[in-house]
């Protein structure tokens, strides 16, 4: 049996609400995690600034044109109570990346987003050793 996802709500409106909540959640984490004395803090895994990561996550969410990702329920759970699950911003960023790119394989319009979330070459080399 093939299960078809029926959307009962306007995806464009819901997408806008999720985008706004993503930005709100990002702001709830301590500012010291985003900006330090030496300027913008960088994510330890990717080396990107948290501001850049937030922008990329929001772009990935907005790129779902046809409908919501199949990870929508988990995405909503994360955005509802992020601090109870993820104590710091880097862990939250990884969870959101995982949920937003897991459907890229099934949506050709999102393939360009996949490049954004590729791990840096140094991490790839470490894993291969």
> Do the domain assignments include residue 90?
yes
Residue 30 is predicted with a pLDDT of: 61
> Do the domain assignments include residue 35?
yes
> Do the domain assignments include residue 69?
yes
Contacts of 59 (CB under 8 A, 6+ apart): 113, 116
Domain region containing 67:
11-128
Residue 49 is predicted with a pLDDT of: 80
Residue 17 is predicted with a pLDDT of: 94
Distance CA 61, CA 65 (A): 9
Other C-beta atoms lying within 10 Å of the C-beta of residue 98 = 14
Bridge partner residues of 39 (DSSP): 36
The domain total for the chain is 1
> Do the domain assignments include residue 112?
yes
Nearest 5 degrees, angle CA 18-CA 26-CA 106?
A: 45
> Do the domain assignments include residue 4?
no
Residue 1 is predicted with a pLDDT of: 44
Distance CA 119, CA 116 (A): 9
> Do the domain assignments include residue 26?
yes
CB-side neighbour CA atoms (13 Å) of 19: 16
> Do the domain assignments include residue 115?
yes
Contact 58, 75 (CB under 8 A): no
Q: What is the pLDDT along the chain (129 residues), one digit of tens a residue?
A: 444 555 577 888 999 999 999 999 988 876 656 555 555 666 666 677 888 888 889 988 988 888 888 888 999 999 999 989 998 888 898 899 889 876 554 555 555 554 555 555 555 555 566
């Amino acid at each position: 049996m093939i299960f078809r996802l029926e959307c009962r709500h306007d995806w464009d409106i819901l997408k806008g609400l999720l985008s706004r909540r993503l930005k709100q959640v990002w702001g709830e984490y301590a500012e010291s995690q985003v900006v330090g004395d030496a300027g913008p803090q960088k994510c330890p895994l990717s080396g990107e600034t948290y501001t850049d990561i937030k922008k990329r996550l929001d772009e990935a969410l907005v790129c779902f044109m046809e409908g919501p990702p199949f990870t929508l329920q988990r995405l909503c759970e994360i955005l509802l109570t992020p601090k109870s699950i993820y104590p710091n911003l880097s862990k939250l960023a990884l969870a959101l990346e995982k949920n937003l790119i897991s459907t890229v394989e099934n949506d050709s319009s999102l393939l360009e987003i996949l490049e954004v979330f590729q791990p840096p070459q140094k991490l790839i080399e470490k894993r291969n050793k």
